[in-house]
Structure 1
Amino acid sequence: MTRILLTGASGFVGKVLHRRLLADRHEVFGSVASSPAPTDSGHHYEVMDICDRTSVDAVIQRVRPTHLIHLAAVSNVAVSFKNPMLTWNTNVIGTLNLMESLKAHAPDCFTLFVSSSEVYGETFKRGELLEEDAACAPMNPYAASKLAAELAVTQYLRQGLSGVIVRPFNHIGPGQSADFVTASFARQIALIEAGLQPPVLKVGNLEASRDFLSVEDVCDAYARLVGVPVGRLEHRVYNISSGSSRKIRAVLDELLAHTTVPIEVQTDPERLRPSDIPVAAGSNRRILAELGWAPATPLAQTVESILDYWREQIAAG
C-alpha cells in the first residue's frame, strides 16, 4: 500500500484530494500548518510547518512516505504582491525543506509537485494552447516563486529522486475562497438572494478567457499520476488543462442562469488587473496520450455546485 504525505490537506484542493486518495485505498497522512489539526472521521493529520526544517524532518521520519503530494503554498496572486517574503519563503524554501528531508530520510519517495499554469505568464500572449515546453515568463511573485520551486525540485530529480511536476490551470469548485473569481461571483449572488447585499454584482474583466476545470477533475489527474508505478511516467512536467478556454463572462452567465432574483452586473475598477492576459489555456495532449486523462465534469454542473455551496454558507451565517 502507498503511504502518501499530502501537504496543504486542509485547503480547497487538499480536502477534495484527501477524500479521493482514501477512496482509492491509499494510506494518507494530511499535513496542516498549525494546531489544532482537523478531526475529520477516517482522516489522519500531521501538524507540519514546511518552513521549519525540524518540523519537516520529524514528520517525514514518522510517516516514511512512499509518495509526497505537495500542495501547500501561498497561492493567491494578490497576497503574493502584498507579502512577497511570505510567498517566496513558503513556496520555495518550504519546498526545499521537503526535498532535503526526503533526500535524507525517504530517498525512494515519489514527489508530485503541484506548480501552476501561472508560470507561463507572458507566453500566454501568443494566444494559443501552450504545451509543457513553452517558455515560462512569470508576471507576479506567486508565479515566479512557483517556477523557482519547479527548478529546485528538478535539481533533486536529476540527483536521483523520483517525481513529476504538474501545472494545473484554473480549477474551481465548492469550498474555494471568495478571493477567486468564480467563488466571488457565487458568494455575491448568494448574498443578494438572501437580501444581504444590494442587487448589484461587482465584477472585473469579463472578457478574459481562461481554461476552467472542476477541482474534482484536477484531483482525478493527480490520483492517476500517483497510481502509475514509479519510473513508468514518460515526462517530468504535465499540464492539467482542458485544452480550451471560456470567457469569464460565460462562467458568470452560467451562474446568473441559476439565480432567483434580478441582478445588475457592474464593473468595479478595483477588480481590474492592469496586466491581465486576454487568453490563458493549455494543451492536455501529453497527459491525455499517456494516462487517458481529460476533464469529465461539465462546467454548468461545477458552477451550480459552487452557487449551492455559497447559498448554504450564507444560510448558515
Structure 2
Amino acid sequence: MQRILVTGANGFVGQILCKTLQDAGRHVIALVGSHSPAPQHANQSLHCDIRDAKAVERAIADVAPTHVVHLAAITHVPTSFKEPLLTWQTNVMGSVNLLQAVQHQAPNAFVLFVSSSEVYGTSFKQGIPLAENTLCQPMNPYAASKLAAEAAFNEHFRQGMPGVIVRPFNHIGVGQSAEFVTASFARQIALIEAGKQAPELKVGNLDASRDFLDVQDVCSAYIQLLKLSESNASYPHCYNICSGQPRKIQEVLDILLTMSPQTITVVRDPERMRPSDIPTATGDTQAIRNTIGWQPQIELRHTLENLLEHWRTQVAIAE
C-alpha cells in the first residue's frame, strides 16, 4: 500500500489533500508543526519542526513513506517581507532537511515538492502564458525562497531521486484564510448579509488578472502526478498547475455580488491597494496535459458559490 507523507498537513491545501487521499484508500501520514493539533484526516500524525534536521530524519525513519508531498512552508507574501529569516529557514532549509532525511531513510520514495507560480515574478510582464522553462525572476522573499528550494530538489533529482516540482497558480476554495482575495470578498458579503458589516465591501486592486483554480482540482493534479512513481518512462520534473485562462479580480467580485440579494457598494480601501506590476499572470499547461492529461474540471462560479456558502455558515456560527 502507498504510504504518503504530507508535510504542512494542517494547512489550507494539506487538509483537503489528506482527506482526498484517505477517501481514495491511501495510508496518509500527516506531518505538522510541533505545537499544531493532530489533523482530522490521517492514518498517522507526526509533530515535527521542519527546521530541525535531526527531528525530520527521525520522523522519516519512523514512518518509511513510499511518497512524500512537501507542502510545509511560509506562504504569505507579506509575512515573507516581515520575517525573511523565518521564511528562508522554513522554505529552504526545511526542504533541504526533508530531502536529506528521505535520501537517508526512504531513498526510493517519490517526492512531490509544491513550489509556486510566484517564482516567475517579473517574467509575467511579458503578458503571455509562461512555460516551465521561462526565466524565473522572483519579486518577493517568498518566491525567492521557493526558487532556492527548487534548486535543492533539482539537485536530488539529478542524483536519481524520483519526483517532481509543481508550480500551482492561484488556488481558492473553502478553508482558505480571509487574508486572500476571494475569501475576503466572500466573508465580507456574508457579514453584510448578516447585518454585521455596513453594506460596503472593501477592496484593493481589482484590475489585475490571475489564473484561479479550485483547490480540489489542484489536489487532483498532485494525486495524478504521484502515479508517475509507477512509470518506467522518463518525465519532466517541473509542472505548472493552472488553467491557462486568467480572470480579472473585478470579474470574480462581480460573480460573487450576483449571488447576494443585498445591495452592496464596492469601496476601494487605500490600505488594501497594492498596485501590481503584474497585470496578468497565467501559465502554459502543455507539460502537465502531455504527461498525465490533467486539466481543471471545476467551474469558477461553482467554487465561488461554495466559498460564499461556507462564509455564510461561519458567520452564522459566530453569532
Normalising by structure 2, report the TM-score.
Answer: 0.96
- Partner in structure 2 of residue 46 of structure 1: 46
Is 1:302 the counterpart of 2:299? The answer is no
Instruction: Name the stretch that deviates more: 204-213 or 264-273.
Output: 264-273
What secondary structure sits across from 1:265 in the alignment? strand
User: Amino acid of the residue matched to residue 117 of structure 2?
Assistant: S
Q: Deviations over 1:150-175 (max 9, x none)?
A: 01111111122111000000000000
Following TM superposition, by how much is the alpha carbon of 1:217 offset from its aligned partner in structure 2, in angstroms?
Answer: 0.3
Task: Check conservation: 1:162, 1:230, Cα contact below 8 A.
Answer: no
Report the CA distance shift for 1:41/1:3 in structure 2 as closer, same or farther (over 3 A).
closer
Q: CA deviation at 1:46?
A: 1.1
Q: Which residue of 1 aligns with 2:225?
A: 225
Residue 233 of structure 1 deviates from its aligned partner by 5.0
Aligned to 2:235: 234
Determine the C-alpha separation between the residues in 2 that align with 1:308 and 1:129: 32
Partner Cα separation in structure 1 for residue 117 and residue 41 of structure 2 = 33
Tell me if structure 2 keeps the 8 A contact 1:162–1:231. no
| Structure 1 contact 107–161 (Cα < 8 Å) conserved | yes
What is the CA-CA distance between 1:40 and the residue it aligns to? 2.3
Residues 159 and 39 of structure 1, relative CA distance in 2, 3 Å threshold: closer
The answer to whether the 8 Å contact 2:29/2:42 transfers is: no
Q: Deviations over 1:128-161 (max 9, x none)?
A: 0111111100001100000000011111111221
Aligned to 1:122: 122
Displacement of 1:82: 1.1
Structure 2: how far apart are the matches of 1:185 and 1:169? 19
Q: Which amino acid is 1:259 matched to?
A: S
- Alignment partner, residue 291 of structure 1: 292
Equivalent residue, structure 1, for 2:186: 186
Question: By how many angstroms is 1:39 displaced?
Answer: 5.6
User: What code does the residue aligned with 1:75 have?
Assistant: T
Of stretches 225-234 and 137-146 in structure 1, the one that deviates more from structure 2 is: 225-234
Q: Name the % identity.
A: 54
- Offset at 1:196? 1.0
Normalized against structure 1, the TM-score is what? 0.97
Shift of 1:21: 1.0
State the distance in 2 between where 1:58 and 1:192 align: 49
Matches within 5 A, 1:234-313: 234-313=235-314
Q: Which residue of 1 aligns with 2:12?
A: 12
Structure 1 segments (4+ residues) deviating >4 Å? none
Query: Aligned partners of 2:41, 2:15: CA distance in 1, in Å?
Result: 13
Match of 1:104 in 2: 104
1:276 Cα deviation from its structure 2 partner: 3.6
CA contact (8 A) 1:91 1:146 kept: yes
* 1:29-64 deviations in Å (ceiling 9; x for gaps): 011102453262664211121011121011100110
Alignment of 1:207-222 (within 5 A): 207-222=207-222
In the alignment, structure 1 segments of 5+ residues that lack a partner are none
Amino acid in structure 1 at the alignment position of 2:298: T
- The 3-state SS of whatever aligns with 1:30 is strand
Number of positions where the alignment pairs a residue of Structure 1 with one of Structure 2: 317
Secondary structure at the aligned position of 1:160 is classed as coil
Does the Cα contact within 8 Å between 1:110 and 1:230 map onto a contact in 2?
no
Report which stretch shifted further, 112-121 or 15-24. Answer: 15-24
8 Å contact 2:18–2:42 — kept in the other structure? no
RMSD: 1.3
* Letter of the 2:70 counterpart: H
1:83-98 equivalences under 5 Å are: 83-98=83-98
Asked if 1 retains the 8 angstrom alpha-carbon contact of 2:209 and 2:249, the reply is yes
CA deviations on 1:250-280 (whole Å, 9 max, x unpaired) are 1111111111211110111221224441000
Residue ranges of structure 2 left out of the alignment (5+ in a row):
none
